[in-house]
Amino acid sequence: MKYYKPETVNENLPGIILLSHGPFAVSLLDTARMLFGDAENLAAFSFEEGDDADQYRETFEETIDAFPEGTLILVDLFGGTPCNQVMRYVQERERPLEVVGGMNLPMLLNAVIAREKKNGKEFSLDTVENGKNGIFRVDVERFLQSDDEDEDE
């Protein structure tokens, strides 16, 4: 199991926890850190082939428990082991959390910025909307035509 969790916790800032299959969560967090530096209250836990699901949950539970109320959980895939394990946590602890599936980089970057102004359902819905807005088709044909026009001048 690969993971990253902060050594200290800012009690005044909602956390963001990434959970995924394979190295995706840790790699996504590494990318965000490359862009933002060492942002506070960010953690990532990658469920690797051969890992024990219960041990995986125990590892990220410590971070959920340490992070302040309003923490957002981003999972790679709804219904997969990371998502199912966080939902077991929610059920066993009867602790409502905001959980968002289908995490991506635009979603994470927005969440890091928005968490200072939004929380709860508003925070998770805003995160989902920004994740969707970060997905679009790049019009390569138009881009190439634009380059051809520049060369004609």
For 22-64, what is each residue's pLDDT tens digit?
Answer: 999 999 999 999 998 888 999 999 999 999 999 999 999 999 9
In this structure, what CATH number is given to the domain that contains residue 51? 3.40.50.510
pLDDT digit string, tens, across residues 140-150: 998 888 766 66
Domain count across the chain: 1
pLDDT digit string, tens, across residues 62-109: 999 999 988 999 999 999 999 999 999 999 988 878 999 999 999 999
Residue 15 buriedness (CB in 10 A; 0-12 / 13-18 / 19+): buried
Give pLDDT, residue 153: 56
Q: Which domain holds residue 105?
A: 2-152
Q: What b-and-e string marks burial along 31-66, b requiring 16 or more CB atoms within 10 Å of the CB?
A: ebeeeeeebebbbbbbbeeebeeeebbebbbebbeb
Question: Which has the closest alpha carbon to 99: 115, 111, 87, 112?
Answer: 87
